[in-house]
Amino acid sequence: SYELTQPPSVSVSPGQTARITCSGDALPKKYASWYQQKSGQAPVLVIYEDSKRPSGIPERFSGSSSGTMATLTISGAQVEDEADYYCYSTDSSATRFGGGTKLTVL
Amino acid sequence: QVQLVESGGGVVQPGRSLRLSCAASGFIFHSYGMHWVRQAPGTGLEWVAVIVYDGSNKYYRDSVKGRFTISRDNSKNTLYLQMNSLRPEDTGVYYCAKDWGPADTRPENWGQGALVTVSS
């Protein structure tokens, strides 16, 4: 079945660039979205259609996709960006979310 | 603004049934697809089901097919998830989410979730 693979964790210091990857065989044909989930809260959409940013999301969040890999980039990561991040891609019945990446900023 | 409020969660024994509801406001409910997404304690997000704007198409993850039914009442601005033959592995927080568009694109706005615990 279709799967999306993410690294379990990424760690950066404040002000550094964090990159979180998501790999999947269908990504060349399907858009990726990214969600941020802070502890105890509902997820928030931060990137859609590989690289578009919803209104209200800081410009330091960006996305890209090439081949079978999508990447979420946080340029100048802040302490408040510490959260779990999930990629998502539409498939009619298969797993749609990646396993999640815990971003630590300290 | 978009508001989604889940209700109907609780503790239920394995094999029993439960129905979740999601009351929607702040947008034109009948124009958008709707999702259910769950999260077991300490684990990641797991997409469960989606229903398009008019209810004509529904999709489910394989592990809930035949047990769960997603539905909507556009006259009441409410989304439902009927869960039958519940298993311990169905335990988790269930979120309803509004889609970006009328069909099945991506979850955009999320509720705060309802906790379902399946345990004897």
Residue A90's pLDDT band (boundaries 50, 70, 90)?
A: confident
**What order of strands is seen across the sheet that includes strand B3-7?**
B3-7, B18-25, B78-83, B68-73
> CB-based contacts of B10: which residues, under 8 Å, 6+ apart?
B18, B115, B116, B117
Tens-place pLDDT, residues B8-26: 999 999 999 999 999 999 9
Residue A23's pLDDT band (boundaries 50, 70, 90)?
A: very high
Residue A2 confidence (pLDDT) = 67
- What's the average model confidence in pLDDT over A30-50? 97
Surface of B (39-58) touching A: CB under 8 A: 44-47
Sign for the CA dihedral angle at A34, A37, A41, A47 comes to negative
Sign for the CA dihedral angle at A57, B96, B52, A88 comes to positive
State the nearest Cα–Cα gap between A90 and chain B, in angstroms: 7
Inspect the interface and report whether the beta carbons of A42 and B47 lie closer than 8 Å: no
Inspect the interface and report whether the beta carbons of B105 and A88 lie closer than 8 Å: no
Residue B94's pLDDT band (boundaries 50, 70, 90)?
A: very high
Q: What are the Cα distances from residue A99, in Å, to A3, A4, A23, B112?
A: 9, 7, 11, 20
Residue A50 confidence (pLDDT) = 97
- What's the average model confidence in pLDDT over B45-53? 96
pLDDT above 70 as % of chain A: 94
> CB-based contacts of B66: which residues, under 8 Å, 6+ apart?
none
Residue B73 confidence (pLDDT) = 98
Residue B118 confidence (pLDDT) = 98
Of A93, A98, A100, which has the smallest distance from its Cβ to B60's Cβ? A93
Phi, psi of B7 (to 5 degrees): -150, 165
Query: Measured between alpha carbons, how far is B65 from B79 in angstroms, rounded to an integer?
Result: 18
* CB B33, CB B12: distance < 8 Å: no
Q: What are the Cα distances from residue B114, in Å, to A44, A51, B11, B37, B40?
A: 17, 31, 11, 11, 12
Buried-exposed string B44-68: b where 16+ CB fall within 10 A, e elsewhere: ebbbbbbbbbeeeebbbbeebeeeb
Surface of B (78-117) touching A: CB under 8 A: 95, 100, 104-113
Q: Of all helices (H) and strands (E), which one includes residue A62?
A: strand A61-66
- What's the average model confidence in pLDDT over B84-101? 97
Number of CB atoms found within 10 A of residue A15's CB:
10
State the nearest Cα–Cα gap between A48 and chain B, in angstroms: 8
Tens-place pLDDT, residues A46-62: 999 999 999 999 999 99
At residue A80, the 3 state secondary structure works out as helix
State the nearest Cα–Cα gap between B65 and chain A, in angstroms: 9
Residue A93 confidence (pLDDT) = 54
